[in-house]
Chain A
Amino acid sequence: MSKKTPQRKTAQALDFKSATLYAIRVVLHEADTAALINALEKRMKDAGAFFENEPVVIDATRIEDTIEWPALVAALRQHQLHPVGVVADGAQAAAAAAAGLPAVDVGSAPVRPPSTPAPEQDVPAAAVTPEKSPPEAGNGSSSTPTPAEASTPTPSSSDAPQPPGSDSSQLAPAHAIPTPAPAAMVITRPLRSGQRVYARNTDLIVIGVVSRGAEVIADGNIHVYGPLRGKAMAGARGDTTARIFTTQLDPELVAIAGVYRVIETSLEASLQNKPAIISLNGESLQLDSLSN
């Protein structure tokens, strides 16, 4: 008995979303294949199973000579390392591409895209699919959550990730709109002494007090709408552009990307218990007042 299946849009067979990939970057210092393979052997022997089965990005930016890509890739695979891309320029990148390795763009920390809002008119109307897409795409709102973490280009564009709106002209409507990065973690209860919250891969928003002895940690920014009296650590995985915002600054400790400061005595009057923003300026933390 044959069933008449309704026409289905091919878009529903699969979805494009963003992913974060943490990879090992293998930095090449020489082009000589034999030397590279030897060095690889030695490293893997020393490291034991530590690096096995890891995705690998090959950094060839320091090499100008020709690299035998197929041999290198084969050697890496033998050691259970999986090359997923290459960081290289010009001819080097082309040679790698011929061997099947795409050029990728990696930062030293989770990549934060430029914060230009998507112009409203560019968001294709067809992108508004009811249940699946997040509310942001539906409203055409200007605060664009973009696929911040994807370090490999999305199939829809050949450049680094861009706000979905500006991609639209290159896309077939209703297909392949990259899903924005995970929404910020929002906490609406007071955080008490001894409690700890960690927002992985995203920002943290606390509406309420962060008591002394409480800890708020985020890979992205931290916003505390209430007294910040505990410890706040933003950019936990190394994002030096992360910042801490609060409406009432009175912390025990603040840190961004590992650079921390313990606040032992009162801050100056313009900062203590006032709205403030903490950012990382080079190697030191900068505390600025937010009120005018």
Chain B
Amino acid sequence: MARIVVVTSGKGGVGKTTTSASFSAGLAMKGHKTVVIDFDVGLRNLDLIMGCERRVVYDFVNVIQGEASLHQALIRDKQLENLFILPASQTRDKDALTKEGVEKVLEDLKAMDFEYIVCDSPAGIETGALMASYFADDALVVTNPEVSSVRDSDRILGILSAKSRRAERGEDPIKEFLLLTRYSPKRVADGEMLSLQDIEDILRIKLIGVIPESEAVLQASNQGVPAIHLRDSDVAAAYQDVVARYLGDERPLRFTEYAKPGLFKRLFGGK
């Protein structure tokens, strides 16, 4: 039975699309047939991050409005044969997304034997974000360790618990997971950033992982490759951990402790 996972945050720019790309790639790497859908109608980014922007012919809105079939719109990832991308429209606006239309696309995807359907939500709490979360079974709430992101994540958690299909039908609630991104242990130690304990205390949902602040993310998006493919980077390792924990493998948290560099490293250019 397919699982619909929404990657959401409320706040913009915290790492939703980066996470959607790496998370879905990670699931595909483990052998699961996965599709990632861009719900940001009008401001699509997922295709850039996945490196398939030149192969977009038809998009999500075309499929909803019957102008193209799913087969025509889905783009198969070049590196992972289990991974597919459904890009957003760049020219339409969000009113093109209707509950019935989105529901039909999700049902059709399930019929195509996809095991995981990852929904990349836009920022905010308007139509795009509400549509992306409405049908979700699980939610990755992406949060930066800073006050406005935490408040917006809290808001989005309230919306997930009240305005989803599961909430309306009185079914089991959406499983919420906290994903901390752009985490810098040094800045936490200096008191500039909220620590993960502070954030857990405020948001009170299960932490699924911590992604460290890293230059690798920018490099990855410039290359058009999900960060999880940059094998030697800390970000890739952190995303692998997240995927593993999501699939049930409990792993200890990494990249959360700040180790002060030794004297030589500090003298000769360490951070």
Contacts and interface: CB of A to CB of B under 8 A. Distances in A.
Interface of A: 189-195, 208-209, 211-214
B161 A193 contact: no
A182 to B, nearest CB: 23
A195 B163 CA distance: 12
Given A193-B158, A194-B158, A195-B158, A212 B151 contact: yes
B151 A189 contact: no
Contacts of B154: 192-193, 211-213
A192 B161 contact: yes
B59 to A, nearest CB: 32
Given A193-B154, A213-B151, 8 more contacts: A190-B204, A192-B157, A193-B155, A194-B155, A194-B158, A195-B158, A195-B162, A213-B155
24 contacts: A189-B161, A190-B157, A190-B204, A191-B158, A192-B154, A192-B157, A192-B158, A192-B161, A193-B151, A193-B154, A193-B158, A194-B155, A194-B158, A195-B158, A195-B162, A208-B204, A209-B204, A211-B154, A211-B202, A212-B154, A212-B202, A213-B151, A213-B155, A214-B158
For chain B, the bracket of interface size reads 10 to 19
Contacts of A209: 204
A-B pairs, 5 with minimum CB distance: A192-B158, A193-B154, A193-B155, A195-B158, A192-B154
A214 B161 CA distance: 14
Nearest to B154: A193
Contacts of B159: 194
Counting chain A CB atoms within 10 Å of each CB, the highest count among B151, B157, B158, B162 belongs to B158
Nearest to B205: A190
Contacts of A211: 154, 202
A211 B154 CA distance: 8
A189 B155 CA distance: 14
A96 B104 CA distance: 70
Contacts of A193: 151, 154-155, 158
Interface in B180-217: 202, 204
A237 B158 CA distance: 27
A222 B204 CA distance: 22
A49 B233 CA distance: 74
Nearest to A189: B161
Nearest to B151: A193
Contacts of A213: 151, 154-155
Contacts of A214: 158
A189 B167 CA distance: 13
Nearest to B162: A195
